[in-house]
C-alpha cells in the first residue's frame, strides 16, 4: 500500500507544480472534448427534436436504431473513423489521421446518438397539452418550436452533460485515430493507459485525479439539472 500513498503524493506534486506534460494532456482533452460535444449538440438536437415531436412511418425503427447506437463500442467507432481518414480511405487526402480533428469526428459520432435519444425523450415527456395551448394562444410554428425547446431546456442540458461525460472518458477512439502523440494528440485517458504501463504510476494517478474531478463536476451538474426539472 505504500506505493499507492507515494504515488498520490507525487501525483499531487505534479499537479501543484504545473507539470507541462500533465497539463498538456489535460488541455488537449478539454479542447477536443469541448469541440466534440458542441458538434454533437449542433448535429443531434434537431433530429432529436423531430424524433420526439412528430409521428411518422418508421419512427419506432429509427428510435430502436438510435437506442442501439447508445452502446456502440468506442473501438468500433475508432475503427470506422480510421477507415475513413486513413490514406486509403475516402477522406485520406485531407491528412486527418493522428490529428485532433480525427478524434473530434470519432467523439462526435460517439456523442451523437446520446444527444438524439435524450433530446427525443425530453420532448416526449413534455405536457402533451402544450401544442394545443400554444395554438389557442395564436402561436405560429416558429413560436411553438422555440417554446417547446425552452420548456425542455433543462432536459437538453442534461443530455449535453451526459454526452460530455461519455466523450471525455473514452479511450478507444483517441488511441486509434489520435495515435497518442505526446504534446499533440495525447489525452488524459490515453496518457493514463500508456504511462501506467511504462511504470509512471504517479503520472497516471495525477491524470486519473483530474479525470475523476471532471466526472464529479459533470455528475454534480447533472444532479442539479435533475432537481431543477423536478421543481
As a dihedral over the C-alpha atoms of residue 214, residue 218, residue 220, residue 223, rounded to 10 degrees, the angle is -160
User: Does the pLDDT of residue 132 top 70, yes or no?
Assistant: no
197 vs 140, higher pLDDT: 197
Average pLDDT over every residue of 148-167: 83
2-230 to CATH, choices 1.10.20.60, 3.40.1190.20, 1.10.3720.10, 1.10.10.10: 1.10.3720.10
Q: Given this model, what pLDDT does residue 49 score?
A: 86
Q: Given this model, what pLDDT does residue 231 score?
A: 57
Chain position carrying cell 431546456: 153
Q: Given this model, what pLDDT does residue 81 score?
A: 95
Q: Given this model, what pLDDT does residue 39 score?
A: 96
User: Does the pLDDT of residue 195 top 60, yes or no?
Assistant: yes
Question: In the chain, where do the E strands start and end?
Answer: none
Q: Given this model, what pLDDT does residue 205 score?
A: 80
**Rounded Cα gap, residues 162 and 48, in angstroms:** 15
Average pLDDT over every residue of 90-96: 89
**Rounded Cα gap, residues 86 and 79, in angstroms:** 10
Q: Given this model, what pLDDT does residue 135 score?
A: 63
Distance of CA 223 to the CA centre of its chain: 17
Average pLDDT over every residue of 141-170: 81
Which of 163, 190, 157, 217 is closest to 25 using CA atoms?
A: 190
pTM: 0.86
User: Does the pLDDT of residue 192 top 80, yes or no?
Assistant: yes
Domain ranges of the chain: 2-230
164 vs 136, higher pLDDT: 164
Chain position carrying cell 454534480: 220
Number of helices and strands in the chain (H, E): 11, 0
- As a whole number, the mean pLDDT across the chain is 84
Q: Given this model, what pLDDT does residue 16 score?
A: 78
**Rounded Cα gap, residues 174 and 142, in angstroms:** 39
**89: left (phi > 0), else alpha (psi -120 to 50), else beta?**
beta
Average pLDDT over every residue of 146-159: 78
52 vs 107, higher pLDDT: 107
Amino acid at each position: 500500500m505504500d506505493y499507492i500513498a507515494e504515488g498520490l503524493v507525487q501525483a499531487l506534486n505534479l499537479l501543484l507544480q504545473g507539470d507541462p506534460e500533465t497539463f498538456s494532456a489535460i488541455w488537449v482533452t478539454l479542447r477536443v472534448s469541448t469541440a466534440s460535444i458542441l458538434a454533437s449538440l449542433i448535429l443531434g438536437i434537431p433530429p432529436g427534436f423531430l424524433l420526439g415531436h412528430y409521428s411518422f412511418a418508421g419512427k419506432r425503427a429509427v428510435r430502436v436504431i438510435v437506442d442501439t447506437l447508445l452502446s456502440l463500442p468506442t473501438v468500433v467507432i475508432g475503427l470506422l473513423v480510421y477507415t475513413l481518414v486513413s490514406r486509403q480511405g475516402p477522406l485520406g487526402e485531407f491528412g486527418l489521421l493522428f490529428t485532433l480533428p480525427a478524434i473530434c469526428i470519432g467523439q462526435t459520432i460517439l456523442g451523437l446518438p446520446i444527444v438524439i435519444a435524450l433530446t427525443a425523450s425530453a420532448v416526449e415527456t413534455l405536457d402533451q397539452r402544450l401544442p394545443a395551448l400554444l395554438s389557442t394562444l395564436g402561436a405560429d410554428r416558429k413560436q411553438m418550436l422555440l417554446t417547446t425547446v425552452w420548456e425542455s431546456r433543462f432536459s437538453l442540458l442534461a443530455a449535453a452533460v451526459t454526452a460530455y461525460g461519455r466523450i471525455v472518458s473514452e479511450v478507444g477512439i483517441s488511441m486509434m485515430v489520435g495515435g497518442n502523440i505526446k504534446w499533440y494528440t495525447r489525452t488524459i485517458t490515453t496518457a493514463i493507459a500508456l504511462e501506467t504501463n511504462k511504470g509512471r504510476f504517479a503520472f497516471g494517478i495525477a491524470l486519473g485525479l483530474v479525470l475523476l474531478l471532471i466526472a464529479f463536476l459533470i455528475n454534480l451538474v447533472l444532479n442539479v439539472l435533475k432537481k431543477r426539472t423536478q421543481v
